[in-house]
A and B are shown apart, each in its own frame.
Chain A
Amino acid sequence: MSLALSLPETDSRLAKVTARDVNVHYAEKHALKHVDLDIRSNEVTALIGPSGCGKSTFLRCVNRMNDMIENCRVTGLLTLDGDDVYDRKIDVVQLRARVGMVFQKPNPFPKSIYDNVAYGPRIHGMARDQGELDEIVMTSLERAGLLAEVKDRLLEAGTGLSGGQQQRLCIARAIAVAPEVILMDEPCSALDPIATAKVEELIDELRENFTIVIVTHSMQQAARVSQRTAFFHLGELVEVGDTEQIFTNPQHPLTQGYITGRFG
């Protein structure tokens, strides 16, 4: 049973990821309840809601990062381009190459900037030779808006960058694998306002080529970067719709309460 008032879109042409009656249990805890949601191509979808509402859990279902957590059980149907993500035939490694992820805290590997970005292409064998690899690394850094800042020190450790630069490095690392969807789990929560602005700008540019799902606890951020917004509460998807509509004319009283800051 879903509380969603505006029914999810069923336009399969636009839906990149669809969720139908997705449930997640952590041992005894029912963390995500009967979620139906469509995520459209080349759009930024923001998942908002109070802490512990299941938005991160949903995000981690899409590229099956929840597999790593013991006692975690996912039921329902979750598809990427019509393929069941939880189908046995689906290969997790390949799935994650198609669905990239950026984490809450910047987590560059303790390697050089170059190797950080080259890591994904290398493991997936995306480059036939060094020249091609160089090209992928440069393009990715360029797309992440980081190239200008780091091009003279590509061989220095990625951990030596500032927080905002580290997070953009992580984004560059994710797009180097050429994913179709990028999942972002509160990517700016550890950053200062200036770095946040840069990352938000970047997200907006990336929309052109990628489908982006972003979890954020900041409503302003959701309003700034996303085209569609989904509001979660206590493991249920309460309402989903165009961002403008959610923020100006929320249908559900819970959404209204959250948006106007009455709880959360």
Chain B
Amino acid sequence: MAVELTGITKRFPGVVANHDIHLTVRKGTVHALVGENGAGKSTLMKILYGMQKPDEGSIAVDGEQVSFSSPADAIARGIGMVHQHFMLADNLTVLENVVLGSEKLHGIGGGARRTIQEISDRYGLGVRPDALVEDLGVADRQRVEILKVLYRGARTLILDEPTAVLVPQEVDALFANLRGLKSEGLSVIFISHKLGEVLSVADEITVIRRGTTVGTAAPAQTTPRQLAEMMVGSELPTPETGESTVTDRAVLEVRNLTVHARGAVSLGTEAEPAAGGLTEFAPAGEVKKVLDDVTFTIHAGEVMGIAGVEGNGQTELIDALIGTKAADSGQIVFLGEDITPWATRKRRESGIGYIPEDRHRQGLLLEAPLWENRILGHVTEAPNAKGFWLNPKGAQADTRRIVEEYDVRTPGIDVTAASLSGGNQQKLIVGREMSHDPKFLIAAHPTRGVDVGAQAQIWDRIREARREGLAVLLISADLDELIGLSDTLRVIFDGRLVADADPATITPEELGSAMTGAATGHLHHSEDSAADTAPEDEAR
């Protein structure tokens, strides 16, 4: 056994992140850890990597009980982690990045270079020690990260969502690297929620749901559907049967919306230094379109879901609709008015509600009390303001109402937003946005990282508002949420809306294949795929 976790439990204020988790990783295997966003995968890996201490349970490495109090302890035991967000210094070379912090291992000169070259050759990583990191693409950077971990003597590698930033060919190359590591006797823990990838690369799969392990599976004997069911359990939202509330009154019309990648000429956006971004693949002079000619209409009472692999233009679409990024061409029409040139505040005042995708960065002031967070985004509107002046009394009273109505679990409205659990923070945001009678709601990952109870409540709120004529743009990585809530479905791929589907008949698998760009146009629930899935149904 390379790593064995037994009975791991970790509690955070107001929420249990991990509960009685069991995970066994054998030597020389790729072990996948799958689960929805917020299921507790990251917490578990932070525990294994020594970033957090478990409240209960034990960790064994190579059969020996260990207790980590920092990542340094974990590294000393041969456990290394490749984070989803790379931690490299752009202005240094690969060699410098690798030795940084581990100068004692092989020095910083020839010895280090030889070792790097040797590791690179042994595992086929193809890393050049003297290349500048800023000149490298995403996939190369990831290999540098892997090399960094190997250089420090890791025998077990944790890869956190490594494919999220890669294109399909790069994913294949990564998987080839992983097989190389495996054949040398190393173990890999591969965190993902992409079932197809998991099935193709893993030797064993552990499924985690709502903070606890619900079972293990061998890829050879498992279908994506079975895995998906293990992942979401019986909480699969029942797709809406009949009772459509869609009207023919258009609330939001988006016409030929195009947004260029940052760095290109675009008004209204923060001019950030280019060093912060990842390498652009587009050759100089050619502007990459992150949103390309997007056109759609959402009617009153309609929930339009957008499916897509993260990073295919969803963020840019949200930004363009709420006005934090200006459209380069095209038009956004809201209730018959062209709002393309409007500033964010005017859009929000006129009835666009916004549940942002990253609530900590965009939805909350973490160190401010709840009632100030209730004001955020609606500072010009009643009950938060009277003309030029703020109305703290009004905001406080209304915060108490939201806390009550939306079941936000908090001891009071003067605590900081940071002290609430993710689900309760999200309920506060949903409550805040719904309190201003939006005509159109942008709901980006509305239940990400939210416990199941809060999830159901948030869904109910959205359904309720939809009955009363709210138009909703739903963006989610959770296909079941998309299918369960949406009246119409679109698939976004590489900045374009490439396909549409009827949520009443489409399956997550069919949607998933369209998300990779494999299918376009109107997706029919074809007889072929029905035949494909039939035996699985029987097997179940």
Query: Do A and B belong to a common assembly?
Result: no
